[in-house]
Structures are given as C-alpha cells and as structure tokens.
Homo-oligomer: A and B are copies of this chain.
Amino acid sequence: MGSLPRIGLDRSSPVPLYFQVAEQLERAIVDGALVPGDRIEAEIELAGSLGLSRPTLRQAIQVLVDKGMLVRKRGVGTQVVGAKIRRPFELTSLHDDLARTGQPAGTEVLSCAVVEADDEVGHELQVPPGSPVWSLERLRSVRDEPFALMRNYLPVDVVDLRGADLTALGLYELLRHGGVHLRVANQRIGARRAEAREARLLAERRGAPLVTMTRTAFDDAGRAVEHGDHLYRADRYTVELTLVDR
C-alpha cells in the first residue's frame, strides 16, 4: 500500500495545471510510490487540497486513464492498474526508441534520392503515380549487428532531405524539426521469409523469418507525410504495445 507524495503546482508555468498533476501522478506510479490496487483520494477532496477545481483535476486523471495506468469506478474511486504499462506504442520512429533506451544505434544510409512514385506509393501518399517522392533506404544496427532494413517514401514538398544527416537524427525527429506534426499512423505488422538481398544486408540466412511493418503517417492537417516499408530480424526485434479499452 503506497501513498501519494505531495503534488506541487506552478501557476506561473506555461505548462497546464492538469498536465502538471498528471505528470506527477504518473511519476508516483512509475516510481512505485503508488502500487497497483492503491486508491487515489476522491476527486473533489484531491482537487480541494491542491486548490484546483474538480474539472481540472478530473482532466489530469483522465490523461492517466487514457494511458491505462488508472481506472475509475463510479461509487468506488480511482485505482492504480495492476499491469505494468510498457511505454505505449507512440508515434515515434525507431531512432527515437533506441535513443531512449541508451542503445548506441548505428545507421547506414543505403540510398537517398528523388524517384517517381509507383502506384502503391502514390496511393499511400495521396499523390498521383509518377510524382516525385523521396526514396530512402537505411540499415539500422546495434553493436554492429544489423537488425532493421527500412525503406521510406516522402512527398518532396514535405521535407528536403538534401544535406540532412540521417545518421544523427531519426526520420521522425527530422520531420518534427521541419515543422511537421505527426498525428495519426496506420500500421500493418506481419512476417515473411528473407529474400536474398535482404538476408545479405541483415546478415541472415536466406529464408529466415522477418518481421514486416508497413506504416503510413499523417500530419495534423491530415496530409500523408510518410510511407514506410520495414523489415526486422525476428530474433532481434519485436513490437510491443499496450492497448487500452475505454
């Protein structure tokens, strides 16, 4: 049975109050100050003790409910969920993921050029077939062991990859710096055998099982911004995600 540490608020900060509360609640759960099954103080009381209105505190709790870390039950209260929430599967690229885990990841850019979109790429990116798009192919490694072969397509008017250092920044990071705000992505995950070229690049045997992932991402204007077709060595990579049912 844990207890909630004191929550401090900074009303002069540009960070919204509900977000400040949500952050500190999340840290309390992650740090173990609140353990699964613990009940949070009732909304009205907690709001009162923090000098906040109930809607504001409720909004803070909602953030963590959406993340699957808290569960509300009418007439009962709000409890910490027993599941260890893995980092939710966010709209970040592999580069960001790896950087966070501290793994020194290597990137080799195999090709980066403007090509004409074929039918599939044009359809996914919502541009006419034959339109110029960036075509990018990268090989990702950890400790000199390759594990991901990634091909991406981007409309030329979204970003200019000339001179971009894709070994230092992830693709999504580059897009963010370019003012592109990603909001939605459709993914499809499957598996298939490695073909000859793929096997060679990934230091695998031909026919070895690979995890496949295709993804199309859209920005906050609803514009298709990126389409990717990625291959992962099955023995070195799995996709983890947390589902929340509301």
Contacts and interface: CB of A to CB of B under 8 A. Distances in A.
Interface of A: 36-37, 55, 66, 68, 71, 73, 79-86, 89-91, 126, 182-193, 207, 209-212, 216, 218, 220-224, 234-235, 237-246
Given A84-B186, A189-B240, 14 more contacts: A68-B183, A71-B220, A80-B222, A83-B224, A91-B243, A185-B242, A186-B240, A191-B191, A191-B209, A191-B211, A191-B234, A192-B209, A192-B235, A209-B234
A44 to B, nearest CB: 18
Contact of A234 (B66, B82, B192): B192
A183 B220 contact: no
As for how many copies of this chain the complex holds, the number is 2
Given A182-B245, A245-B182, A245-B183, A238 B188 contact: yes
**Residue with the highest number of chain B CB atoms closer than 10 Å, among A66, A212, A221, A223:** A221
A239 B68 contact: no
Contacts of A126: 82
B188 A68 contact: no
Nearest to A70: B222
Nearest to A211: B191
Given A126-B82, A234-B190, A222 B37 contact: yes
A30 to B, nearest CB: 15
Closest 3 CB pairs of A and B: A82-B222, A191-B191, A190-B238
Contacts of A234: 190-192, 209
